[in-house]
Structure 1
Amino acid sequence: MTRRTRWLPVLGVLVAAPWFAEMAWGGIAVTELPLVLLFLAPLYGSAALLVREVARRAGGGWPSMLMLAAAFGVVQAGVVDQSLFNPAYGRFDFQHPVHVAGLDVSLYFLFAFVSGHVVASIATPIALAEAWTRAPSRRRPWLGRRGLPVVATVYVLASVVNHLGVKDEEGHGFQAAPVQTVAAVVAAALLVAGGVLWRRRDVTDVRVPSTVAVAAIGFAAYLLYLPGESGAALAVGVVVAAGVVAVVGRWSTSPRWTDDHVTALAIGSVLVGVVMPFLVEPYDDGVTAGREIVQDTAAAVVCLAGVAVTWWRLRVLARRRPTSGP
């Protein structure tokens, strides 16, 4: 990959990360995309790039990226915006259900925030960006010796800006207790250590489903894994997430598991954006019903278009693959 083309997937991640994290599900109107990119691309996008860079340099692959993504989710919700611990975050109550006294945290929202960041903020943008690159470049680092410290610096600065901005605007001046901050930092550090130290398991001969079936699994799991806000919904979410991780982890040890399967899993999560905007309320509770439908439709169209052009790109790359001779 040339230096010029290497920055194309980098730009893709910077745009896709805030889109899938905050807009694909209808939380923020599509018309606010320039503003979202200005403030959240340096935060979510830089985090996704750093996660991929560390994992690819360590040779850990997707298990490493998922653990590092979970670490980012804990840091973002527990340290940066502190929504995980704040009893009055905007107009939302993130302390219930399944409240844990002492740490003052909802296990439901701990799971929801972290899993959401893993899938939407980190994994999906990386998987789609890698799908747009040629096979040899999908496992290589994208950031050079200059790019890596620049992205790391941008992420730290963006985190500080986000922390201060949220504290004033949504957090009502809330500051997490030392025990809460320490717990979040320790949890994130353990996840980072696991991601860096992870090594690929032995290759197996397990059968692997088609890419269409994998996409369907990704869609159903991401759409239905939290069926409500309750302790029972949390139990369902944990079972679904653990099941998907176990099954996909098993499939990924087979030589039949390809990059196309990874892309299909990501596409399944993107297709949730075609449905989800119509099922959830936006951040702005003052928006009219008619305007909300327009915004939700626009978000769904963008997600559907993203799937279409990614599928087209995969077809183009497949035709360019060298074929072995007789």
Structure 2
Amino acid sequence: MSDSAPQGVLVCDKAQGLTSHGVVSRIRRWYGTRKVGHAGTLDPMATGVLVLGLGRGTKLLGYITGVSKTYLATIRLGSATPTDDADSEPDRFADPAVLAAVGTADIEAGVAALTGDIDQVPSAVSAIKVDGRRSYARVRAGEEVELKARRVQISKFTIRDMRFAAAEGHIDVDVEVDCSSGTYVRALARDLGGRLGVHGHLTALRRTRVGAFDIADAVTIPADLDTDAPRMLSLAEVARTLLPTVHVDAAEAKALMQGKIITSTQVSGEASNAPGTEGRETRSPESGEVAVISGDELVSIAEMRADGGLKSLTAFAIDLA
């Protein structure tokens, strides 16, 4: 590298009660750098995988933001909150007789109806912008906000456990959810409760996967930031999980960084955002974005043209001297 500033991607296990911005602030102090960003906010109540980019790693965050995600969650049926989760107090409650009548089959049917490609209305207390202002800011200012439904994919919505306590005013349902980017798990809790006529909200949420980045590989941020900062994933390692890969020599890399179009047909890898993807077949796409790597360095995100030409789209300024 041509500079000594930290460059790479770090997978963190966010603690409960900490904002995503708070994580960024701690990582800045831990690694001694200002250039830190994250790929997708986690609410303060939530824990789990938060992917951060440092230095030129921030250029890869846009490719990570849109990948699928996995969550473990607890849905409490029987009450609703203004935020659809435990960050606010319940303000609507189910009729005790209606709640007592809800059984296992009813909950399973409600979950099945919310699986697949669905139209979901995001939670009003969310970061979605409405006429230039965050929805949550409008709600907190006392405004009525109605967000439009959008298509999301719930590829897995599995019940792991159910605890019936209707006499105490609730039923807790532990679930695992695989979903597309832009899905609100707390909206799933709200909508499940709505389908059953008993209200619902989240009491726990843990993100266990973001694309190929798993909680098993996540770093816990210590209270004492005087400890040595752990190794990050290199730009090349991360790029290989996101895009097909083209390997070039030093001369080709230099030409590409100078804005020239080069020809290369050795494209390896069918990148996948699913965990557990191993061994990738060599292929030559007709077009599309690819990660260009020279040695162990990420040179560029480039466009692979139909004629086999490569043109740099996003350069990662490495020392090519």
Determine which structure has more spread, i.e. the larger CA radius of gyration: 2
More strand by share: 2
TM-score w.r.t. length of structure 1? 0.23
Give the number of the structure with larger relative contact order, counting CA–CA contacts within 8 Å between residues 6 or more apart. Answer: 1
TM-score w.r.t. length of structure 2? 0.24
More helix by share: 1
